[in-house]
Structures are given as C-alpha cells and as structure tokens.
Amino acid sequence: MMLSSLYKRKLEELLAVCRKNLPECNEKLISDAFKFSLNAHRMDKRASGEPFIVHPFEVAAIIAREMPLDDVTVASGLLHDVIEDTKFTYEDVKAEFGETIAEIVDGATKIEGMFENYETKQVENYRKMLLSMSNDIRVILVKFADRLHNMRTLEYLNPERQVRMARETMEIYAPLAHRLGLSRVKIEYEDLAFKYLDRQFYKEISKKVIAKKKERESYVNKFIQPVEEAMDNEGLKYEISGRAKHLYSIAKKMISRGKSFEEIYDLFAVRIILDTDDRNDCFTVYGLASEIYIPVPERFKDYISLPKQNGYQSIHTTLIGPEGKMVEVQIRTRDMHEVAEKGVAAHWKYKENIHTNDKQMEDWISWIRELFDSTTKESTPGQIIEGLKLNLYQDEIYLFTPKGDLKILPVNSTPVDFAFDIHTEVGYRCIGAKVNGKIVPLDSKLKSGDQVEIITSKIKKPHQDWENFVVTHKAKSDIHKFFNLERRKLIEAGKEMWEKKIKKNKFSLSEDELIKLVPRLKFESVQHIYTAISEEKITTDELYEIVKDRNKLLNGELESPWVKPVERNIYAKIKEAEPSLFETYIKSARSTKNKIIAEGDVKDLMFSYANCCNPIPGEDIIGYISKTEGIKIHKKSCKNLSNLFLSDPQRLIDVQWPEQVEDEFFVGIKINGEDRPGMLNEITNVISTYNNTNIKSVNISSKGTLFDGTVILMVKNITHLNELIEKIKTIHGVFDVKRFEE
C-alpha cells in the first residue's frame, strides 16, 4: 500500500519514537500494522472530523513514548480498533500478525464498555472478560493508551458522554493505573476527568495555579539552592526539579481539609532523582536536606525499605522551607523513578513468553487474577465492580506476622482482614487476635508496623456481622461465600426432608406446583420453605397437612396455619397490648423507605424513633409497643429502657435494621475547643463536605478563650457518624467531640 506524504511523515514520527524508547524494534511489523490500520479505517472519521487513523496512531505513540514496552504492544495499539469497528475479524488479524497480537487486540476490544451498564451483563462472561486482562498485561496497557487519547479529545463528544467517560476514568481507570504503577498516566486521567466532572472548580484551581507559577518557580529555586550545594559537596550526580501538584490532588486537599486554595501551603513538591545504583544514597540526601530544613516527622515515609504493592520505591518527606512553607520532597534513584512513572512497563523483559521470571510482573498479574477470582458465582456485576473499586482505591499499611513476614493490606484493615489474607481457612476459623502481644477486638483497626497473631479454633465458624467491618474484598467475598454455602446446605437439607415426606405418603407435588402455593403459604419463596424446615420453624407434617388440599388452598378456602409462626406472636402481642389500635399498627411501614424488621421477617408495622436516644442504623435496637405512636424504636443502651421494661415487659419486642436503609437520621454532637477566628466556619465546612452531610442547626457559645456547642445534623448510619466525629477531631484547636443524645 502506497502512503501519502502526510502518512509517511506520521509513520516515520512513530518509528523515531520507537527507535528511541524500545530496546528492540521490528520496524516492518510496525509499518505493516500502520498500513493495515490505515486501510481498515480509510472510510472512518473521528467525532472531531479528523481521519480515524489519527486515533490508533496516537494510541501507539502513547505506548511507545509513555509506556515503552515492546514493538508487539505498539503494533497492537495501531490495530486495537480494527476488530471492533471495521469489517476485519480476529482471524484476519491473526493471519496477518500472529496469535499474540490478535489476542491483545481482541482483549482490548472486550474491555471497551466493560464498566458501562454493568448491571445488565452476564456475571460469568463479565468475569472471563476481566480475567483476560491478566493473561497478557499488554491488553490493559493498550486499553490505558486508548482511554488516555480519548480523554485528551473528550471535548468533541456530547456533554452526557463526556461526564460518563470522565466518571468511569476517575473511578476505574485512574486507580487501576495507580495500582499498576503508571503514576504519570494516573495523574493525567484524574486531571482530565476532573475537568469534565466539575468544570467550575477545575477552572478556578487551574487559573490560580497558573497565576502563581512565577512565584512558585522563584520559591522552588530558593528552596533547592542550598540542597544542590550540599549534594555537590558530596559528589552526587542528580536531577532536581520542583513542580506544582496536579490539579485534582489540590482539589482533594481543599475538600478534605475544608480550606481555600490560599490556605493550602504544600501545593508543590520537589523531586530529587539520583544517578546511582546505591539506594543508601537516597538516605544520605534525606540527611543532607533535613540538616538544612526542619523535617515534619509524621510525614516521613520510607517506601524504599518497604515498597508499595505496585513496586513504587521512594523516600517521601515534608520539610519546612523558607518563610515557613511546607514542601514535599521525594528522593529516589533513576531506576526507581522509571518504575514510579512507568510501573509495569518498566519491568517488561521483552521476551516472547509473557510469563517471565520478573517477580514484580508476576505479582501484578497474580494481583489482578486474585482480584477477579475472589468474586463468587453468586456475585452480581454490581458487587464485582464495588469490590474492584474497593481494591483499587485504598491506601496501604504494612503489617507483620509473628514470624516477621510482611503483609500489605488496605488502611482500616482489621484482624479479620489479616486472617483472610493469610488463608481463607484461617479467616473462617478465626476466633481472636493479638496485636503487638495484646488481645484486641476483631473489629480493631490495624496500624502500619503492627505485629498480628491470629487465634483460631478447630471449628469453622465465621460471624455474619464481620461483613460490616472488614474492608478487603477478599474477606468480604470469602464471608459472603461461606454464608451462601451455608444457606444452600439448609435449602438442600430441607428439600430432601420434604421429598422424603411426600414420597413416604405417596403424594405427588412437583416443585413448580409448590411454587404456585408459595403466596398462599405466606412464604417468600420455595427456598424459604425449605430453609424453615431445616431450621425447624415448620415441620414436614405441618406442611403436608396444608398442601394435601392444594385446590382448597389455591381457591382461598383454606388459610395457611402460619403467617410465619413468629409473626403470630408479634401480632398477638400488639393485639393484647393495644386492641383498639391494632389495625393502625399493621399498616404504615409500606409507605416508608425504611422497613424495620420485627422478630423474624415482619416488616409492615407502624413504627417511630424514640427522641430520648435517637437510634441510627448500625446500633443495636429494640421495639416498644407504645399507646399512640406505634412501635417506638429505642437503642438497646437507652437509659429509659430499664423503666419501660419494669413498667410492662410484655410490650418489648425484638427488632432489627434492614440490610439497606435509605433515610437519613437526626443526631446531635457536642464539640468543645479553642475559640479562634474562623473556627465555626472550619467546623461547618468539614461537616458539610464530608459525604454531603446536612446540618440542621448549630448552637455555639464562648467562655473566655474556649467554646462549646452542639450541632444537629443528618447521618446515614453509625459509621457515617463515627467517621465524621474523627474528621472533626482533626481540626486544629478542637479538644473533644462526642455524640449528644438528649
């Protein structure tokens, strides 16, 4: 195929980048792929109006320039849209370029749209598609380059697609790039997505960063000058530079700290890259810099001795520079910098067999496999995605076994997460834990450096409530898997008992016929019937007596003997306590979002929340049959409960929160601290920016240099409240924050 002068220049430009960045380059392979793609897309146009070939060319150039792997990946980038968008098939690409390139192109094609409308996809197909990423890491890297060019040209799409792609990039692609060590790509993803998700905020920060550029450069030069002199005196070879932090990270700081742009001091960072093979030189430079400027002790991180899971190594420290400004400094070797910027690409071995002996590469591949393999067949696509997000977003802590083995887990991990990380069976048999030699509750949050010992029993007995506090996807998935299996066992046992009963009585009733009887029997499903039999809530004799007259049951001539056995007890309690209001009690919950579950599965009862303790989801609760307001929901720790019990114990009933609660709940918090200018504004800012918390009222009073007050706000659950309290405690000058229950 003859190329025009324009396309000749484009091809030569790409080949020049490949020659510069790739250790080996099959120029014929790349030329052939360029021509094949040009021919396949010759009739196509981009949304910008440009010839379509511009896109695969840019994708290939990104791979060669920013993730320089090998010529196979560059060729795959040129061909990545051929199977999806043209008449050419997988077999055509395979015949022309071989199976490896065809597999990479096909894998990248399948990933397209994988996070869009995921609720409608078949779970098994979805899982297979995700796992294809780990068969050859080049699949996801081609997809990264494709997404990066699409984000750079997002302006040509309609607003709805802009927002959808920006959100998908922010939620999935950016954190996944981070986990694979591609920090440069991750930063650009975040800034480009931020630009379309909050245009006004983006413009505001961008304008201020540009306006401060000269001032920043002047300050950085002043900061680095004495550091350069000290390194020169030591005879070190280095590269030192200052840069503004990227826009999205500045926005996150403003939101999390509740501060304006002008109040954020650490807006820039200095990076020192050493041309050395001795990592100890990094610590030498840290020593030199910290003699010149005062370091902030709690902001020192040694990722050289303890690298991140994605292979990232560097020293991070914050120093107090001239004029008292905080400056973040990163110190690393040239090789460490390559890994920090290019991640997985920096480890590529340029071998035909992708399963190399490179441990870092194997760790990345096994991490992706484990991430997706840990989803159960019962998992919905939504659960898989949530698990994926959970694994991608969390920062890491470093923990040790009693033998000194290192475990890297997400921040806020508990001993139960640690147990499941060791092995699923250790998690199932976990009954306790020691942290640094002391026994701690299983929901305790672990900290970096903790030594954790798991205490196990011979009996496999995890607790359902563990799901409420574990944070790793593996722990959540394994616990979910265990209880699903237990439910299946109960269903199978109940079914077997029922089939034995009808066989013994020579009675014919198929499962389809039993399904038709379910509504008349007042059960939710056949599985619930089988479970009730297993748990001895009903007997096979009772069930047989009612279903043997199936026609009468279907015609309404026979009433089920159980509106569930437990329901009769509740109804009887209510009728006995308040006979005149009985009908009122049994009618209101259908119209509310929250359905308090009373003793078993009863949901349709009138209820209200007690003002004396204001219970919120996540707290243990109990119901009290009141005289006028339905069932009053109290916290089990409510101080009024003992009086209610003594006055009429028969009015108390067991209740629990449903799995999902959509409402928000009133709660009060007491705050006291130092009365300083801007304190009230800072408190309300932290509250309102955390999870969009709605403030209902604020009452603050000053006493000399101190203040105390109450804030009434709306929260979703106890976790929301506790996390908010912890956030407020971090405000400078706040002494104490606690719940106010009166």
pLDDT tens profile 646-662:
566 667 777 888 777 77
Six-digit token pair at 608? Answer: 């209200």
Catalytic residue among 32, 84, 96, 328: 84
Q: Is residue 353 part of a domain?
A: no
Q: Is residue 573 part of a domain?
A: yes
Among 627, 656, 685, residue at a domain's last position: 656
What is the Cα–Cα distance from 480 to 93, expressed in whole angstroms? Answer: 42
What is the Cα–Cα distance from 598 to 686, expressed in whole angstroms? Answer: 37
What is the Cα–Cα distance from 55 to 358, expressed in whole angstroms? Answer: 32
The domain that contains 95 carries what CATH number?
1.10.3210.10
How many angstroms separate the first and last alpha carbons of the chain? 82
Q: Is residue 734 part of a domain?
A: yes
Residues 151 and 241 in one domain: no
Q: Say how many C-beta atoms besides its own lie within 10 A of residue 601's C-beta.
A: 12
Q: Is residue 375 part of a domain?
A: no
The domain that contains 698 carries what CATH number?
3.30.70.260
What is the Cα–Cα distance from 418 to 400, expressed in whole angstroms? Answer: 10
Q: Please indicate, yes or no, whether the overall pTM of this predicted structure exceeds 0.85.
A: no
Residues 500 and 611 in one domain: no
- Cβ neighbors of 513 (< 8 A, separation 6 or more) are 550
Q: Which residues of 482-521 are buried (b: 16+ CB within 10 A; e: fewer)?
A: beeeeeeebbeebbeebeebbeeeeeebeeeebeebeebb
Helix (H) or strand (E) holding 438: strand 438-440
Residues 506 and 545 in one domain: yes
Residues 569 and 639 in one domain: yes
- DSSP character for 173? I
Six-digit token pair at 144? Answer: 């990264």
Residues 575 and 681 in one domain: no
Q: How far is CA 337 from the centre of its chain?
A: 27
Q: Is residue 587 part of a domain?
A: yes
Backbone region of residue 415 per phi and psi (left: phi > 0; alpha: psi in -120 to 50; beta: other values): alpha
Catalytic residue among 32, 85, 358, 604: 85
Backbone region of residue 733 per phi and psi (left: phi > 0; alpha: psi in -120 to 50; beta: other values): left
Backbone region of residue 306 per phi and psi (left: phi > 0; alpha: psi in -120 to 50; beta: other values): beta
Helix (H, G, I), strand (E, B), or coil: what is residue 669? Answer: strand
What is the Cα–Cα distance from 305 to 300, expressed in whole angstroms? Answer: 13
Q: Report helix, strand and coil shares of the chain as percent, to nearest 5.
A: 55, 15, 30
Q: Is residue 642 part of a domain?
A: yes
Which pLDDT value is given to residue 271? 92
Range of the domain at 299: 206-346
Q: How far is CA 491 from CA 376, 528, 713, in A?
A: 19, 8, 44
Q: How far is CA 44 from CA 3, 76, 169, in A?
A: 17, 19, 25
Helix (H) or strand (E) holding 652: strand 652-656
Six-digit token pair at 268? Answer: 């820039």
Among 528, 554, 580, residue at a domain's last position: 554
Which pLDDT value is given to residue 378? 47
Which pLDDT value is given to residue 274? 94
Helix (H, G, I), strand (E, B), or coil: what is residue 327? Answer: strand
Asked whether the beta carbons of 115 and 385 are under 8 A apart, the reply is yes
Residues 689 and 650 in one domain: no
Residues 511 and 588 in one domain: no
Helix (H, G, I), strand (E, B), or coil: what is residue 701? Answer: strand
> Low-confidence residues of the chain, pLDDT below 50?
116-129, 349-357, 372, 374-378, 380-382, 390, 393, 563-568, 587-594, 599-600
Six-digit token pair at 638? Answer: 């409510």
Q: Is residue 448 part of a domain?
A: no
Helix (H, G, I), strand (E, B), or coil: what is residue 382? Answer: helix
Residues 611 and 651 in one domain: yes
Asked whether the beta carbons of 485 and 460 are under 8 A apart, the reply is no
What is the Cα–Cα distance from 635 to 647, expressed in whole angstroms? Answer: 18
Residues 584 and 700 in one domain: no
The domain that contains 289 carries what CATH number?
3.30.460.10
What is the Cα–Cα distance from 257 to 395, expressed in whole angstroms? Answer: 18
Helix (H, G, I), strand (E, B), or coil: what is residue 441? Answer: coil
Work out how many domains the chain is built from and give that number: 5
Which pLDDT value is given to residue 46? 83
Helix (H) or strand (E) holding 670: strand 665-674
Helix (H) or strand (E) holding 273: strand 268-274
Q: Say how many C-beta atoms besides its own lie within 10 A of residue 230's C-beta.
A: 17
What is the Cα–Cα distance from 83 to 40, expressed in whole angstroms? Answer: 10
Which pLDDT value is given to residue 351? 36
Q: Describe the crossing of helices 526-534 and 511-521 by its angle, rounded to 10 degrees.
A: 80
- Cβ neighbors of 526 (< 8 A, separation 6 or more) are 511, 514, 515, 518
Helix (H) or strand (E) holding 408: strand 406-410
Six-digit token pair at 126? Answer: 């979805």
Which pLDDT value is given to residue 364? 54
Which pLDDT value is given to residue 535? 79
Residues 580 and 649 in one domain: yes
pLDDT in tens, 358-380: 555 555 555 555 554 544 444 54
What is the Cα–Cα distance from 54 to 66, expressed in whole angstroms? Answer: 17
- DSSP character for 245? P
Q: Is 386 a catalytic residue?
A: no
Q: How far is CA 373 from CA 120, 200, 380, 482, in A?
A: 20, 41, 14, 15
Maximal CA-CA distance, the chain: 100
Among 656, 688, 707, residue at a domain's last position: 656
Backbone region of residue 556 per phi and psi (left: phi > 0; alpha: psi in -120 to 50; beta: other values): left
Residue that the structure tokens 């918390």 belong to = 693
Residues 64 and 185 in one domain: yes
Q: Of 736, 730, 651, which is closest to residue 685 (Cα–Cα)? A: 730
Asked whether the beta carbons of 381 and 126 are under 8 A apart, the reply is yes
Q: Is residue 128 part of a domain?
A: no
Q: Please classify residue 726 by burial: count the beta carbons closer than 10 Å to its beta carbon, then call 0-12 exposed, 13-18 middle and 19+ buried.
A: exposed
Q: Is 204 a catalytic residue?
A: no
What is the Cα–Cα distance from 457 to 440, expressed in whole angstroms? Answer: 17
Residues 574 and 680 in one domain: no
What is the Cα–Cα distance from 308 to 178, expressed in whole angstroms? Answer: 11
